Amino acid sequence: MWLQTSCELKFVTDFPTPFIFMLRPRSGAQQWIASEEYLLYPTVPAFEFTDEYGNLCQRLVAPPGDFSLSTSARIMTADSIDQEPGGYFVDIQNLPDNVLKYLLPSRYCESDRFGEMATEITANQQPGYDQVAEIERWLHTTIRYEPGSSFLPLSAIEVNLQQSGVCRDLAHLGVALCRSLSIPARIVVGYLYELEPMELHAWFEAYVADRWYTFDATQQFKRGGYVAIGYGRDAADVAVYNQFGPAVFPIKQEVTVELV
């Protein structure tokens, strides 16, 4: 399906403020960016680099006063997402080198503390895809999904205590549970068509049967319409923006996703 996505951010700052944005989706195996726009008001010098996960990041210093970004893109993405019930667990020794980092605990995914819980949840499942699908199901029925956004990400431990969270928080718990079973898992931030209410979204991927599969505990039914902006170990790696110096909050954050 062809989607038109947009994200507009507006800040008011008192000081020159360094930002790192991650707002440019990349063409890749799963999506093709046919056209794209990335506007800054006022125009300031911006420098783009690729981070260690392959994400495009934009660095700039916002001048004091109003500062806004307006990004939009026309993107072809899959109508449905791939599923692979029964997909096998990949033995550690057969994982590609660059997937191994997704086995380790990270800031918001303390997988080193979830081994027992993950084993219980997936007790009756075959190792691999079915374990992850069961984790997704468990999250969907157990952890209350509270749509919308929150500024402070919760770690898997915190989400588990609180038994509720935004999309990003549920993804953190999903990732931590997978990793504690030695299944590589990562977070994805991006857009989802017909998300209610419309916002930036986050979900997770697990590496089974020799590739990454998409999981999203916030949705009742599997469907397509996902557009990835960034991949990482957890929210610390895929912040839509990182800002340095005295804290600045967006006074406007508007997201749209429309079928073309």
Judged by the rule CB under 8 A, the positions of this chain that interact with a copy of itself are 18, 20, 26-29, 32-39, 43, 45-52, 54, 56-61, 76, 91-93, 97-98, 100-101, 103-107, 109-110, 112, 152, 182, 236-237, 242, 244-245
CB of 87 to a copy of itself, least distance (A): 19
Tokens 């989706």 label which residue? 25
Biggest CA pair distance of the chain: 57
CB of 12 to a copy of itself, least distance (A): 19
Nearer to a copy of itself, 33 or 198 (CB): 33
* 197: phi then psi, degrees, rounded to nearest 5: -75, 160
CB of 218 to a copy of itself, least distance (A): 24
CB of 206 to a copy of itself, least distance (A): 15
Nearer to a copy of itself, 12 or 61 (CB): 61
Amino acid at 198: M
CB of 108 to a copy of itself, least distance (A): 8
- What b/e string do you get for 220-254 counting C-beta neighbours within 10 Å, with b at 16 or more? eeeeebbbbbbbbbbbebbbbbebeeeebebeebe
Nearer to a copy of itself, 31 or 218 (CB): 31
> H or E element: which one contains 170?
helix 167-180
* 231: phi then psi, degrees, rounded to nearest 5: -120, 150
Region of residue 241 (left: phi > 0; alpha: psi -120 to 50; beta: else): beta
Nearer to a copy of itself, 164 or 244 (CB): 244
Measured CA to CA, the distance from residue 247 to residue 14 in angstroms comes to 10
Nearer to a copy of itself, 103 or 187 (CB): 103
Q: SS3 of 154, please?
A: coil
Measured CA to CA, the distance from residue 201 to residue 110 in angstroms comes to 21
Tokens 């990335």 label which residue? 38
Nearer to a copy of itself, 60 or 200 (CB): 60
CB of 101 to a copy of itself, least distance (A): 6
Measured CA to CA, the distance from residue 201 to residue 91 in angstroms comes to 31
CB of 129 to a copy of itself, least distance (A): 18
Q: SS3 of 260, please?
A: coil
Nearer to a copy of itself, 19 or 213 (CB): 19
